[in-house]
Structure 1
Amino acid sequence: MTQSILVPDDTCWTVEEAARFAVIVDAADYYRFAKEAMLKARHRVFLIGWDFDARIELEPEAQTVGGPNRVGRFMEWLAQERPELDVRVLKWDIGILRSLGRGETPAFLLHWLMPKGIDFRLDSAHPTTSAHHMKILVVDDALAFCGGIDMTMGRWDTREHHEGRPGRHTPRGKPLPPWHDVTTCVTGAAARGLAVLAAHRWFWATGEELEPVPPTEPHWPTGLVADFEDIPIGIARTLPRYEERAHVNEILGATYAIIRAAERFLYIESQYLASRRICEVLMERLEEPDGPEIVVINPETADGWLEAKAMDTARVRMIRLLMEADVHDRFRIYYPVNAAGTPIYVHAKIMFADDRALKVGSANINNRSMGYDSECDIVVDAVAHPERRAAVARVRDGLLAEHLGRSAAEVREALERTNGSLIELIDTLNSTDRKHLVPLRPRELSLGEELFAESDAADPIRPVGLRRILRSLTQRAPVRQIRQMRRRRIEARNARRQHLG
């Protein structure tokens, strides 16, 4: 009997039954469903995030759900109209600097922080330079959203990712580029499990213990189709060691388990590809004679100067390592573009092993997400259930269809024609006259970029002090090591060419 991927205290924190479970792709749907769920709340609305921008519109093109449209005004209105409702917001404390940087005035932020029916707190319960990266919304402890989408500027988009979409703009009206993201919605014991995690976060941040709310029937959002019903799901976390709290890296364990469970292919969407530990497991699979294909979807480049400097340089190194290990030609990495050729930014964090398993949440494939920041992922293992495996396949095929500008039916038919090869499927359906995938080629790095990528400052996996970060940036010891790596890379490339004839 095949062992389950879901192992409490190893690959997940807990396994809970989800009465309904849906994967929601892109923020246009998520914002609408979230607003409707909050409007139907009876006891508590609890929003936890890396970032919030009170100025953004939940439905920027056509409002279909009642109440104010801007997220800040909506939360205020909800608390004032329903004084019996417990409305709480928990935001990463250093994220307040991002708010100032994007144009929110101190007076505007102060208005948010003043008591007015919303219990708004900044969460500082983390090591120096660590981030609270979870994105969770819990309604009445009965329905919860968990994934990679923050309610902040630049996230809203539809699955079409049209050029010049009018709803895709800053609060001041400046157009924004296409953006691809994923979250989930759950009910049942799984929602209560996420409510317990939210209560833990509140306690760590404030020292206040929250009581569960009275049992309430969940109000499933109108128009949201459940991908699964009555299915056990794993809730997996990353938590850095902090004060008396122990280090937790269940997401790393889940990632290893999913990679090792794949038989035909791994399909991965992630904002980054920067974790050496994860890439080493991928390399092992590529070196196997009958191992799986590995297809990765990334953005063309990271969002922001510092992220690009750290994550893109690390990605170049990871791609090189994977290409060197790819002696059987089973690895591809792409970035998506819309029909006009504009790159679509990939912020999604979702992974599939065949039609058996999926993992979706806030964790990227970088060191921070595996040990340094707080993260939450949902894990599904459909190993012995044909109906659940079919549902996993439908979610995966829908994502591929979105990126290729095709229907899910076309993707399924192509996968059958190619005998289950994702690489051949993409080669067959990829066409530049519509949305498509562009191969991502590694560039040459300067010695300075190699040094930065090798430093703790680039992408730490454990909490480190500022002194160590500064020392790692200034030390010269890695220079000889990097030059040796370059020589080994050239030798490996020549050996691979010789192997392939």
Structure 2
Amino acid sequence: MESGSTDALLRPNDNCWRIEHAKRFSLIVDADDYFAAAREAMMAAKRRIMLIGWDFDARISLCHPGHKDEGPKKLDDFLIWLVERNPELEIYILRWDVGMVKAIFRGNTLFTLLRWKAHERITARMDSVHPFAASHHQKIVSIDDSIAFCGGIDMTSERWDTRDHADDNEDRVLPGTTRPYKPWHDATSLFDGRAAAAIGELTRDRWEAAVGQKLEPLNESAPQWPPSLSPMLEEVDVAIARSYPEMKHRPAIVEIERLYETLIADAKTLIYAESQYFASRRIAIAIGKRLQEPDGPEIVIINPLTADGWLEPVAMDTARARLVAALQRMDTHDRLRIYHPQTANGNPIYVHAKVTVIDDHVLRVGSSNFNNRSLRLDTECDVAVRVESDEQTGTVAGLRDNLIAEHLGVDPQIVTDEYAAAGSMIAVIENLRGEGRTLVPYEIPDLNGVEKWLADNEVLDPEGPEAIFESFTGDSRAKRGLFRGWHMVRKMRFRRRSRTAA
């Protein structure tokens, strides 16, 4: 599919920005493999590396534990080493400004910033060009405009983990300490070709918007695919979708919101999703419509047990409880499940991945979550691949089954075989769930009145800049709220009941 072309599902300038070709594409699960692959790709960089992220921690080791090559392990030393060994290389780092304030209190952050600033070919900047309360949330690495990583993994602390999420992993500790942090599940993507060149354009656009400096595109060069990573798909078209809030001289961009709604509406048999949150009113409405259909798809969502941080549980967990309760009342055909994974010792695994697989023909991965901020307030970037050949649909289905098998602690082939036999992924998961490493069904907690009010009024998870300042009094209350728009789902339900009665 050429740039700017459209089909019934993915539509440039509607539910995506661009559709561009990639010769190679891979889904990377968990930061152990991501950090290693990113290190290899950056070591092969010729002219430019752009690191665009919510947060960076210069103290992390950007490699497998115990790995040895010619470069330093830690991110701060590694970046300086890269530019000193290659006089033509320039590195640009863009991070969220509030994340920078947090980073100031980490160990040697100020010293690292001074070292980077002292080097004429390393430029680190903070992205503060956002409306009030919005954040820069994209997680992108662009190398020479020829290879790109795009997903949900930040190059920061408390992200590294291996796919076994072992309870006693001695390497899963805070940088420079022996203090462990919780098991962490995450995902990103890697691709090349014109799709990677488009991501290069996107990162330059973000840089110019935040810093005011215009960077010229690079002449296309042969990408250096990381040798430790085999491509999972070849010769595929990649749709790139964005969320941008309304900013000065730039209208809001809601491509990701439209992409989610399109994918949910298009699913035939199974929607499988991993997300840090489940708090989006619009996504819940789209799911609710599908649950009303007698022959709609199964919907399996993997969430963490509870949101991370001190404020997020109040906002995200409460909204999740309210939305799931409403959806369960609509789920008369018993096709919705939400689970959270746990380790062999029964400890929660934090789900930070943002992955969606629709049937066996669409794979989406990016930085956006199932929450209002991701759709309308923060800057986000997702990519989606649609495949049609038997070989490629088998690969996409295999990636989905591999993720589910990871959470259940079983061989992926078992999930594939049982799904082929049962025709129900919910039945497969319920049959394979057990003690230890497994998936645990979500249970709706009791909520107090304040929590319900915060969730219902989207106080801590607004849909956009304008929603933050809407009054909670008078007629304006109808403009906002977690259940705004649900009347359309109720009307669908009433019409179906009427037709059944007739």
Q: What is the alpha-carbon distance in structure 1 between the residues aligned to residue 346 and residue 75 of structure 2?
A: 31
- Corresponding residue for residue 255 of structure 2: 250
* Candidates 22, 27, 31, aligned match of 2:26: 22
CA distance in 2, matches of 1:179, 1:88: 27
Query: 2:22 and 2:343 mapped to 1: Cα distance?
Result: 34
Q: Residue 427 of structure 2 aligns to which amino acid in structure 1?
A: E
SS, match of residue 181 in structure 2: coil
Aligned equivalent of 1:348: 353
Contact 1:16-1:193 within 8 A present in 2 as well:
yes
Identify the match of residue 398 of structure 2 among 394, 408, 432.
394
Gaps in structure 2 of 5+ consecutive residues: 1-5, 488-493, 495-502
Residue among 460, 463, 473 paired with 2:462: 460
In 2, Cα distance between equivalents of 1:477 and 1:84:
56
Amino acid at match of 1:257: T
Q: Which runs of structure 2 are paired with 1:37-436 in the superposition (5 Å)? A: 37-59=41-63, 61-100=65-104, 103-104=106-107, 107-108=110-111, 110-111=113-114, 114-116=117-119, 117-171=121-175, 172-382=177-387, 384-418=388-422, 420-433=423-436, 435-436=437-438
Instruction: Supply the distance in 1 between the matched residues of 2:48 and 2:432 (Cα, whole angstroms).
Output: 46
Aligned partners of 1:127 and 1:240 also within 8 Å = yes
Structure 1 63/475 Cα, relative in aligned 2: closer, same or farther at 3 Å? Answer: farther
Overall identity of the aligned pairs, in %: 43
The whole-number CA distance in structure 2 between the counterparts of 1:477 and 1:376 is: 31
- Between the aligned partners of 1:423 and 1:438, the Cα distance in structure 2 is 12
Q: Is the 8 A contact 1:46 1:138 kept in 2?
A: yes
What SS class does the counterpart of residue 207 from structure 2 fall into? Answer: helix
- What amino acid is aligned across from residue 430 of structure 1 in structure 2? R
- Structure 1 CA distance, aligned partners of 2:356 and 2:282? 16
Instruction: Supply the distance in 2 between the matched residues of 1:229 and 1:65 (Cα, whole angstroms).
Output: 29
Residues 1:227 and 1:450: Cα distance change in structure 2 (over 3 Å): same
SS of the counterpart of 1:191? helix
Call closer, same or farther: CA 1:86–1:443 in 2, change over 3 Å: same
Alignment check: 8 A CA contact 1:36 1:65 kept? no
Return the letter of the residue paired with 1:78: L
Name the amino acid aligned to 2:100.
I
Q: Secondary structure at the match of 1:442?
A: coil
Counterpart for residue 3 of structure 2: none
Task: Give the match for residue 444 of structure 2.
Answer: 442
CA drift of 1:3 comes to 5.2
CA-CA distance at 1:239 after TM superposition? 0.7
Task: Give the structure 2 partner of residue 499 of structure 1.
Answer: none
Q: Which amino acid aligns with 1:8?
A: P
Distance (whole Å) between structure 1 residues aligned to residue 208 and residue 439 of structure 2: 44
CA distance in 1, matches of 2:195, 2:80: 28
Q: Give the distance between the partners of 1:119 and 1:447, measured in 2 at CA.
A: 48
2:141 aligned counterpart, secondary structure: strand
- The alpha-carbon distance between structure 1 residues 408 and 106, as it changes in their structure 2 partners (threshold 3 A), is closer
Q: Which amino acid aligns with 2:139?
A: K
Task: For residue 63 of structure 1, report the CA deviation from its aligned partner.
Answer: 1.6
| Alpha carbons 2:298, 2:426 under 8 Å: kept | yes
Give the TM-score of the pair, scaled to structure 2.
0.91
2:262 & 2:319 partners in 1: Cα distance? 23
Contact 2:31 2:162 in 1 (8 A): yes
Gaps of at least 5 residues in structure 1 are 489-494, 496-501
- Output the aligned Cα RMSD: 2.4
Take 1:478 and 1:124, find their aligned partners in 2: how far apart are those partners? 30
- 1:498 aligned partner: none
Provide the C-alpha distance between the structure 1 equivalents of 2:474 and 2:458, rounded to a whole number of angstroms.
11
CA distance in 2, matches of 1:399, 1:475: 47
Give the partner amino acid of 1:446. N
Higher mean Cα deviation, 239-248 or 53-62? 53-62
Q: 2:20, 2:195 within 8 Å by CA — same for their partners in 1?
A: yes
User: Shift of the alpha carbon at 1:269?
Assistant: 0.4
| TM-score of the aligned structures, taking structure 1 as reference length | 0.91
Letter in 1 for 2:447: L
Contact 2:80 2:116 in 1 (8 A): no
The answer on whether the counterparts of 1:60 and 1:167 sit within 8 Å (CA) in structure 2 is no
Distance change in 2, residues 1:129/1:430 (3 Å): same
Moved more, 228-237 or 115-124: 115-124
118-127 or 370-379, which deviates more: 118-127
Q: Which moved more, 1:263-272 or 1:56-65?
A: 56-65
Aligned: 1:35 with 2:21: no
CA distance in 2: counterparts of 1:196 and 1:130, whole angstroms: 23
Contact 2:147–2:192 (Cα < 8 Å) also in 1:
yes
1:477–1:211 CA distance, 2 compared to 1 (3 A): closer
Q: Is the 8 A contact 2:140 2:151 kept in 1?
A: yes
Larger mean CA deviation between 132-141 and 163-172 belongs to 163-172
SS in 1 for 2:178: coil
CA offsets 1:114-153 (integer angstroms, 9 cap, x no match): 2313111111121111111000001111111000000001
Give the residue type in structure 2 aligned to 1:424: A
CA distance in 2, matches of 1:392, 1:255: 18
Q: Is the 8 A contact 1:28 1:157 kept in 2?
A: yes
